[in-house]
Structure 1
Amino acid sequence: MEALLSQFSLLSTQALHDKNFDPSTIEELMKLFELDPYDSWASINHDLNREIEQSQMSIKEAEDYLDSVMATAMDEYRRFEEDSDRTAEIELARLNWTADGIKRVGRSVDRAASMLSKKYIEAAVSSAMASVKSAKKGISSAASKKVHPS
C-alpha cells in the first residue's frame, strides 16, 4: 500500500508538471489501488489460515502429549495398585499365619492350665484327705489315752 501511495505521489507530481502526461497511467494505478485491498485481504486470510493450522497442530501436539502423560500415569497407578494389593495379600497371609500360631499356643496354654488345675484339685483333695485321716488318728489316739475317773 505504501508503494502504491508513493507511486501515486510521483505520478501526481508528474501530471502537474508534465503537459504530455498520459492520464491512463493514473487509471492503471487506481486499478492497482482497488486490487491492493483484495491482495492484502487474501494475504491476511492466508496468514490467518496458516496461523490457525499451526495453532491446531500445536493443540494436537499438546493433546497427544497429555494423552501420553495420562497413559503413563495410569500405567504407573495400575502398577502401584497391583503392588499394593500384593503387599496387602502378603501382609494378610502373614497376619493369618500369626493368628493361627497364637490360636495354637492359646489352645496349648488352655490344655496346660486345665491339666494344672486338675492336678491342683487332686493335690488339694489328697492333702485334705490326709489331713482328715491325720485328724481322725489324732482324735482316736487322744480318746484312748483318757483315763476314766472311776
Structure 2
Amino acid sequence: MDWLIDPFFYNWLILAIILLIVEVATFTLLFLWLGIAALIMVVITWTFPDLSMPLQLLLFAILSLLSVVMWSLLFKKRQAKSGSLIMNNRAQRYVGRTTVLIEPIDNGRGKVQLDDSYWRVESSVDLPIDTKIRVVGCRGTTLLVEAAD
C-alpha cells in the first residue's frame, strides 16, 4: 500500500491520464484543464516530494480553478473576436450591410438579394424598387431594414 502514498507524483500522473482520457471521451474542455493542473502537480510533487497531501490537494484545487478561469476568459475573448455568437444565425451576419431592393416594400414586406440568397425584408415604411436600404436587425429569417441615406 505504500505505492499509494510514496511517491505522490505517480498518483498525480495517473489522475492526469484519467482526466485527459475523460476529456477525449466528452469533448467538454473542462477535463483538459483539470488534466493540465494534474500534470503541473506531477512536476511539483516530483520537484518537492516532501509536500503533504493536504497541501497537494490545496495546490491542485488552486491550479484547477486558475486554469478553468483563464480558459473561460480566453474563450470569451476569442468567441467575441471570431463572431461565433452569430455563427448559426446567418441573417444576423447581414446587420449593417446595405443593398438595393429587388422588389418594392409593400405593406411592410419586400425582398432583397444579399450575396447568393434572396431574403424577405420588413420595414415600417413602404419603399419603391431600387431603393438603397440598410439591414438593421433580423427576426428569424426575415431581415429588418430601413432606407439608407
TM-score for both structures, normalised by structure 2: 0.31
Task: Give the greater-gyration-radius structure (CA).
Answer: 1
Per chain length, whose mean CA-contact separation is higher, i.e. which structure has more relative contact order (CA < 8 Å, sep 6+)? 2
Return the structure number with greater strand share: 2
Return the structure number with greater helix share: 1
TM-score for both structures, normalised by structure 1: 0.31
